[in-house]
Amino acid sequence: MISAVFRAAFFGDRRRWLGFRIAGHADFDDPGRDIVCAAVSALSQAAVIGITEVVGVPATWNRDAGELSLDLPFDDGYLEATDVLLETVYLALADLSEQYPGELGVRIVYSNERGR
Protein backbone atom coordinates (compact mmCIF):
# COMPACT_ATOMS: atom_id res chain seq x y z
CA MET A 1 0.00 0.00 0.00
CA ILE A 2 1.31 3.42 -0.95
CA SER A 3 1.00 5.89 1.94
CA ALA A 4 1.90 9.01 -0.05
CA VAL A 5 -0.61 11.76 -0.76
CA PHE A 6 -0.45 11.22 -4.56
CA ARG A 7 -0.77 7.60 -5.71
CA ALA A 8 0.20 6.51 -9.21
CA ALA A 9 -0.42 2.97 -10.43
CA PHE A 10 0.80 1.89 -13.85
CA PHE A 11 -0.79 -1.23 -15.32
CA GLY A 12 0.93 -3.72 -17.57
CA ASP A 13 0.92 -7.35 -18.61
CA ARG A 14 4.71 -7.90 -18.44
CA ARG A 15 4.87 -7.28 -22.20
CA ARG A 16 3.47 -3.78 -22.48
CA TRP A 17 1.86 -0.91 -20.60
CA LEU A 18 -1.95 -1.00 -20.42
CA GLY A 19 -2.64 2.32 -18.70
CA PHE A 20 -2.44 4.20 -15.41
CA ARG A 21 -4.46 5.70 -12.56
CA ILE A 22 -3.17 8.73 -10.70
CA ALA A 23 -5.15 10.02 -7.75
CA GLY A 24 -4.77 12.45 -4.89
CA HIS A 25 -3.25 15.83 -4.26
CA ALA A 26 0.19 16.76 -3.01
CA ASP A 27 0.48 18.83 0.14
CA PHE A 28 4.01 20.01 -0.56
CA ASP A 29 2.98 23.68 -0.72
CA ASP A 30 -0.08 25.90 -0.99
CA PRO A 31 -2.38 25.41 -4.00
CA GLY A 32 -0.92 27.21 -7.00
CA ARG A 33 2.60 26.91 -5.57
CA ASP A 34 2.84 23.13 -5.20
CA ILE A 35 5.61 21.99 -7.54
CA VAL A 36 4.93 18.29 -6.90
CA CYS A 37 1.29 18.65 -7.88
CA ALA A 38 2.23 20.68 -10.95
CA ALA A 39 4.81 18.11 -12.07
CA VAL A 40 2.49 15.12 -11.63
CA SER A 41 -0.34 16.92 -13.42
CA ALA A 42 1.83 18.07 -16.31
CA LEU A 43 3.46 14.68 -16.86
CA SER A 44 0.25 12.67 -16.67
CA GLN A 45 -1.75 15.04 -18.86
CA ALA A 46 1.09 15.15 -21.41
CA ALA A 47 0.93 11.35 -21.61
CA VAL A 48 -2.80 11.42 -22.34
CA ILE A 49 -2.38 14.14 -24.97
CA GLY A 50 0.59 12.39 -26.59
CA ILE A 51 -1.20 9.05 -26.77
CA THR A 52 -4.65 10.26 -27.85
CA GLU A 53 -3.88 13.33 -29.95
CA VAL A 54 -0.32 12.88 -31.27
CA VAL A 55 -0.23 9.10 -31.76
CA GLY A 56 -3.99 8.86 -32.33
CA VAL A 57 -4.69 5.91 -30.05
CA PRO A 58 -8.40 5.47 -29.30
CA ALA A 59 -7.68 5.17 -25.59
CA THR A 60 -10.22 5.59 -22.83
CA TRP A 61 -9.35 8.28 -20.33
CA ASN A 62 -11.09 10.12 -17.54
CA ARG A 63 -10.22 13.20 -15.53
CA ASP A 64 -12.11 14.03 -12.37
CA ALA A 65 -11.17 16.19 -9.42
CA GLY A 66 -7.92 14.74 -8.13
CA GLU A 67 -7.82 11.73 -10.48
CA LEU A 68 -6.67 10.94 -14.00
CA SER A 69 -6.93 7.50 -15.58
CA LEU A 70 -5.92 6.10 -18.96
CA ASP A 71 -6.75 2.68 -20.41
CA LEU A 72 -5.15 1.58 -23.66
CA PRO A 73 -6.83 -0.68 -26.21
CA PHE A 74 -5.34 -4.11 -26.88
CA ASP A 75 -3.97 -3.09 -30.29
CA ASP A 76 -0.37 -3.97 -31.11
CA GLY A 77 -0.35 -1.33 -33.86
CA TYR A 78 0.24 1.32 -31.20
CA LEU A 79 2.48 -0.73 -28.94
CA GLU A 80 5.84 0.95 -29.62
CA ALA A 81 4.61 4.53 -29.31
CA THR A 82 2.46 3.96 -26.23
CA ASP A 83 5.19 2.01 -24.47
CA VAL A 84 7.72 4.80 -25.05
CA LEU A 85 5.35 7.46 -23.74
CA LEU A 86 4.17 5.55 -20.68
CA GLU A 87 7.65 4.28 -19.82
CA THR A 88 8.86 7.90 -19.92
CA VAL A 89 6.08 9.12 -17.63
CA TYR A 90 6.52 6.14 -15.29
CA LEU A 91 10.28 6.78 -14.96
CA ALA A 92 9.77 10.53 -14.48
CA LEU A 93 7.18 10.00 -11.75
CA ALA A 94 9.30 7.29 -10.09
CA ASP A 95 12.21 9.74 -10.01
CA LEU A 96 9.94 12.44 -8.59
CA SER A 97 8.71 10.03 -5.90
CA GLU A 98 12.32 9.46 -4.82
CA GLN A 99 12.81 13.21 -4.46
CA TYR A 100 9.49 13.69 -2.60
CA PRO A 101 8.71 10.30 -1.02
CA GLY A 102 6.01 11.58 1.31
CA GLU A 103 4.14 13.26 -1.53
CA LEU A 104 4.05 10.66 -4.31
CA GLY A 105 4.04 6.88 -4.46
CA VAL A 106 4.43 5.01 -7.75
CA ARG A 107 3.92 1.31 -8.39
CA ILE A 108 3.40 -1.16 -11.21
CA VAL A 109 0.38 -3.47 -11.14
CA TYR A 110 0.50 -6.42 -13.52
CA SER A 111 -2.77 -7.34 -15.25
CA ASN A 112 -3.22 -10.58 -13.33
CA GLU A 113 -3.12 -8.51 -10.10
CA ARG A 114 -5.96 -6.21 -11.14
CA GLY A 115 -8.40 -8.78 -12.46
CA ARG A 116 -7.78 -8.30 -16.18
- pTM here? 0.85
1 within a domain of the structure (yes/no): no
24 within a domain of the structure (yes/no): yes
Residue 114 DSSP label: T
Those residues with Cβ within 8 angstroms of residue 97's Cβ, 6 or more apart along the chain or in another chain: 4, 8, 103, 104, 105, 106
78 within a domain of the structure (yes/no): yes
Range of the domain at 84: 6-111
Tens digit of pLDDT for each residue in 37-58? 889 999 999 999 999 999 999 9
| Residue 55 backbone dihedrals phi, psi, to 5 degrees | -80, -30
Residue 19 to residue 33: CA distance in whole angstroms: 28
Domain with 46 in it: what CATH number? 3.30.70.1490
Tens digit of pLDDT for each residue in 58-106? 999 999 988 999 999 987 788 899 999 999 999 999 999 999 888 888 9
- Structurally, how many domains does the chain consist of? 1
Tell me the residue type at 97. S
